[in-house]
């Protein structure tokens, strides 16, 4: 304390830049607070390369309803991507795996039952009715202070955007670095 009193100018020269960096960091963190709550769940798929899988499920939204069809790997031979179906719950901010099972009928045909998902209506617009958008994180610089204090530029995750704010979507750990996410639609009615 005696040193600070004797060398006030030197102390201020060291303390002021550190204080300014702290203020810049706090302003960057505070801009991520939610200003509008997301009201709509949404569905998306994550792909995973699978060399030996005999079948895969193809998802499509037709007339605001989710449809699923079992296809053989020969139809998907160049890519061999298995799609897992996920639902983001807006109320909890959690992601749930809702991938249906493949069943074989008595005739030997493969089918998929969308239990729990067949009655929902999906809006395939990029923006939800309340203005939120599910999108990949933009890789942009936050300036010198952001580059020094932030490591988020290396994160390849997905976010929900609303106006100028981004809210992280925690993807399943085993699927995080696989093939791209395919957005299917916002759940507007159940």
Asked whether residue 17 falls in the same domain as residue 50, the answer is no
Note whether residue 35 is domain-resident.
Answer: no
Gap between the Cα atoms of 132 and 161, Å rounded:
6
Confidence of residue 145 (pLDDT cuts 50, 70, 90): low
Question: 8 lies in which domain range?
Answer: 1-30
Q: Are residues 118 and 155 in the same domain?
A: yes
- Do 80 and 154 have their domain in common? yes
Q: Are residues 8 and 78 in the same domain?
A: no
**Confidence check: pLDDT of 126 > 60:** yes
Q: Is the pTM of this model over 0.95?
A: no
Same structural domain, 81 and 132: yes
Whether 37 maps to a domain, the answer reads no
Q: Answer for the pair 189, 62: CB distance below 8 angstroms, yes or no.
A: no
């Amino acid at each position: 304390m005696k040193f600070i009193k004797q060398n006030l100018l030197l102390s201020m020269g060291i303390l002021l830049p550190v204080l300014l960096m702290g203020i810049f960091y706090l302003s960057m963190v505070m801009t991520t607070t939610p200003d509008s709550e997301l009201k709509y769940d949404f569905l998306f798929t994550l792909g995973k390369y699978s060399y030996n899988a005999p079948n895969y499920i193809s998802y499509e939204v037709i007339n605001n309803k989710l449809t699923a069809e079992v296809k053989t790997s020969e139809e998907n031979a160049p890519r061999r991507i298995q799609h897992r179906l996920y639902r983001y719950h807006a109320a909890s901010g959690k992601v749930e795996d809702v991938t249906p099972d493949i069943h074989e009928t008595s005739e030997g045909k493969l089918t998929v039952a969308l239990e729990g998902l067949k009655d929902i209506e999906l809006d395939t617009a990029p923006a939800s009715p309340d203005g939120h958008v599910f999108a990949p994180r933009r890789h942009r610089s936050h300036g010198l202070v952001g580059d020094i204090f932030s490591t988020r530029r290396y994160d390849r995750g997905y976010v929900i955007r609303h106006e100028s704010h981004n809210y992280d979507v925690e993807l399943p750990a085993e699927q995080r670095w696989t093939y791209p996410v395919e957005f299917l639609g916002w759940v507007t009615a159940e």
